[in-house]
Amino acid sequence: MSDRIRLTFPRDESYHGVARLVVGGLAARLSFSFEYLEDLQLALDSLLANGAYQAGSDVTLELLVEEDGVEMCVGPVTPALRTDLERRLDESEGVGLGRLLATLVESVEIESRDGGEWLRLAKRTPSRGVAASA
Amino acid sequence: MAPPREAHPFSRGGCLGVSATPERTDRELLRRYHHDGDVEARERLIEQYLPLVRSLARRYSYRGEQLEDLVQVGCIGLIKAIDRFDVDRGVELTTYATPNIIGEIKRHFRDKGWSIRVPRGLQELNVKLSKLIEELTVQLERSPTIPELAKAASVEEEEVLEALETGQAYSTLSLSAPTSGDDEDLDPLESLGELEPEYEVSEDRAVLAPGLRVLDERERKILHLRFYDGLTQSQIAQQVGISQMHVSRLIRRSLEKMRAEIATDTTDTELRAS
The CATH number of the domain holding residue B166 is 1.10.10.10
Dihedrals phi, psi of A75, to nearest 5 degrees: 180, -175
- Structure confidence at residue A125 as a pLDDT band (50, 70, 90): confident
pLDDT, position A90: 56
Cβ of B226 and A92 within 8 Å? no
Dihedrals phi, psi of B149, to nearest 5 degrees: -65, -40
Q: Structural domain tally of chain B?
A: 3
In a domain, B196, yes or no: no
Nearest-CA distance B222 → chain A (Å)? 12
* pLDDT higher than 50, residue A132: no
- Are residue B30 and residue B101 in the same domain, yes or no? yes
Better-predicted residue by pLDDT, B120 or A111: A111
* Contact (Cβ atoms closer than 8 angstroms) between residue B222 and residue B249: no
pLDDT digits (tens, 9 = 90+) for B3-24: 443 333 333 333 333 444 455 5
DSSP A33: B
In a domain, B149, yes or no: yes
Instruction: Name the residue of chain B whose CA is nearest to A42's CA.
Output: B252
Q: What is the CATH number for B103? A: 1.10.1740.10
- Structure confidence at residue A94 as a pLDDT band (50, 70, 90): low
Mapping DSSP to helix (H, G, I), strand (E, B) and coil, where does residue B217 land?
helix
* pLDDT higher than 90, residue B236: yes
Dihedrals phi, psi of B43, to nearest 5 degrees: -65, -40
* Contact (Cβ atoms closer than 8 angstroms) between residue B13 and residue B19: yes
Ordered DSSP codes for B31-50: HHHHHH--HHHHHHHHHHHH
pLDDT, position B269: 59
Domain regions of chain A by residue span: 3-124
pLDDT digits (tens, 9 = 90+) for B185-199: 333 443 444 443 333
Provide mean pLDDT across the span B231-242.
91
In a domain, B1, yes or no: no
In a domain, B92, yes or no: yes
Which domain does B48 fall in, by range? Answer: 23-112
Q: Which of A34, A36, A41, A127 to mutate to test the interface with B (most CBs of B within 10 A)?
A: A34
Instruction: Name the residue of chain A whose CA is nearest to B254's CA.
Output: A95
- Are residue B108 and residue B123 in the same domain, yes or no? no
**What CA–CA distance (Å, rounded) separates B266 from B177?**
33
CA dihedral A12, A15, A16, A17 (to 10 degrees): 150
- Are residue B29 and residue B101 in the same domain, yes or no? yes
Q: Which of A14, A18, A33 to mutate to test the interface with B (most CBs of B within 10 A)?
A: A33
DSSP A20: H
Please say which residue of B130, B161, B189 terminates a domain. B189
For chain B, what's the residue count?
274
pLDDT, position B117: 53
Which class for A6: exposed (0-12), middle (13-18), buried (19 or more C-beta within 10 A)?
A: exposed
Helix (H), strand (E) at residue A79:
none
Helix (H), strand (E) at residue B208:
none
**What CA–CA distance (Å, rounded) separates B124 from B258?**
29
Q: Which of B115, B161, B244 is opposite residue A28, by nearest beta carbon?
A: B161
User: What number does CATH give the domain A3-124?
Assistant: 3.30.565.10
Provide mean pLDDT across the span B217-237.
90
**What CA–CA distance (Å, rounded) separates B271 from A74?**
32
Mapping DSSP to helix (H, G, I), strand (E, B) and coil, where does residue B6 land?
coil
pLDDT, position A98: 83
**What CA–CA distance (Å, rounded) separates A31 from B148?**
8
* pLDDT higher than 50, residue B81: yes
